[in-house]
Amino acid sequence: MIRRASLALVLIAPCMAIATGCQRPAHTSAVTIAPDSVATAPDSLSGIVSITGTSFEQRLVLRNGNSVTSLSAATPESTALSRMGGIEVRVVGKQTLSAFQVDHFTALSVAGSPVADGILRNDNGRLALETTHGRIPLGNPPTALRGMIGARVWIAGPLDTGPNSYGVIAPPR
């Protein structure tokens, strides 16, 4: 009986060693990243905003050359985009099968002229436009802008001297 046990160990031991050698070691230096934690860069598109449909059911699209992309956005961005008809914008978000999901956007130009997009601020009695790149003092802003502190607007023309044209993207809150 002892011989059979010894013989079994002789035959089984190498198999056990092979089997345990195939397993992963307890500690590895590899880092595993869960799929949900991987950050992906947002998509972006540029083009002219166009509003199609009826007043009951509007559809926002972005036109760039021969390309037309349907836009979808949460209510605040959707409301702001609906004021941007005919204006060139850059939208940032995610392209899906049915539409481009807009997280945020920036006005780029109106009628081919570049514009600055930002929030109107009062800097000690002087109007400034707070953009993603910092505050820009307005040299000779239209009088109507003084009553719109906190509004998001686009402004065209020389910001330091005027004259300027502007449009309201989102009224003050």
Residue 73, SS3 per DSSP: strand
Among 109, 127, 147, the domain-final residue is 109
Residue 121, SS3 per DSSP: strand
Same-domain check for residues 47 and 96: yes
Query: Is 166 among the domain residues?
Result: yes
Same-domain check for residues 131 and 93: no
Main-chain phi, psi angles of 93, to 5 degrees: 170, -130
Same-domain check for residues 87 and 125: no
Main-chain phi, psi angles of 51, to 5 degrees: -110, 120
Among 90, 109, 128, the domain-final residue is 109
Which stretches within the chain are classed as H helix? 2-21, 75-81
Predicted local confidence at residue 75, as pLDDT: 82
Range(s) of the domain holding residue 86: 43-109
Predicted local confidence at residue 5, as pLDDT: 43
Predicted local confidence at residue 56, as pLDDT: 78
Predicted local confidence at residue 42, as pLDDT: 77
Burial class (CB in 10 A: 0-12, 13-18, 19+), 49: buried
Residue 98 sits in a domain whose CATH number is: 2.40.50.430
Query: Is 51 among the domain residues?
Result: yes
CB 77 within 8 A of CB 93: no
Predicted local confidence at residue 85, as pLDDT: 94
CB 5 within 8 A of CB 11: no
Query: Is 148 among the domain residues?
Result: yes
Structure tokens at 113: 């002229």
CB 163 within 8 A of CB 143: no
CB 100 within 8 A of CB 45: yes
Q: What is the pLDDT along the chain (173 residues), one digit of tens a residue?
A: 444 444 343 344 444 443 444 443 343 333 334 444 445 567 999 999 999 887 778 899 999 999 999 999 888 888 999 999 999 999 999 999 999 999 999 999 999 999 999 999 999 989 999 999 999 999 999 999 999 999 999 999 999 998 899 999 999 98
